[in-house]
A and B are shown apart, each in its own frame.
Chain A
Amino acid sequence: GDSVTQMEGPVTLSEEAFLTINCTYTATGYPSLFWYVQYPGEGLQLLLKATKADDKGSNKGFEATYRKETTSFHLEKGSVQVSDSAVYFCALSRDTGRRALTFGSGTRLQVQP
């Protein structure tokens, strides 16, 4: 079945550091890939998405590129801020069959001033 694997956290960085959160997936067909973010006490918000190979999703300084050859969708940001502290979830949606998302286990990011 489908699965998403994320690097374990927490990831602790100083403000303005470079961020990478790794995400790899297993799925049949051509899934769409997503990064969601959950701030403390809130529900999940879509951060960015990519729907086909080599697409790059970007939002709020975050980027991720859909790499079909390595089945990866790593999240990057060049300079993190304290306000980026949150839990980040990688997810996929298949193009056929079940319409629900398959999520990774989440990675907590803590940014220190």
Chain B
Amino acid sequence: DVKVTQSSRYLVKRTGEKVFLECVQDMDHENMFWYRQDPGLGLRLIYFSYDVKMKEKGDIPEGYSVSREKKERFSLILESASTNQTSMYLCATGTSYNEQFFGPGTRLTVL
């Protein structure tokens, strides 16, 4: 079974802090993704990566950056957290243009 783990299930940060969300997968998939999930909006793509050190902006990249130094690890960085970044963050991994496998999510609250 594909396993996708995220560093925290719940996280509380203060406005202006730098926040790191980490995702690790164990199936050697080339593609990794970060989404945020908000009620009524579904999942929206923040960034994705199709190879080590490669990244592509998704639909809502503003206020975020990413890092992929190793194939199995994809980090989402909030450079200066703001209250409107309070959300559920979901990491996913997959091959080619097929289905994706999701981690359990990190619920981030920015105060």
User: Chain A: residues with CB nearer than 8 A to chain B?
Assistant: 4, 32, 34, 36, 42-46, 49, 89, 93-96, 98-101, 103-106
Number of A-B contacts (CB under 8 A): 57
A contact residues around B33 at 8 Å (CB): 100-101
B contact residues around A34 at 8 Å (CB): 99
A contact residues around B42 at 8 Å (CB): 4, 89, 103-106
* Size class of the B contact interface (CB-based, 8 Å): 20 to 34
Kindly provide the distance from the CB of A108 to the nearest chain B CB, expressed in whole angstroms. Answer: 9
Q: How far is the CA of A44 from the CA of B43 in the complex (A)?
A: 10
Q: How far is the CA of A98 from the CA of B45 in the complex (A)?
A: 11
Stretch among B11-19, B68-76, B90-98 lining the A interface: B90-98
Q: Which B residue's beta carbon lies closest to that of A96?
A: B97
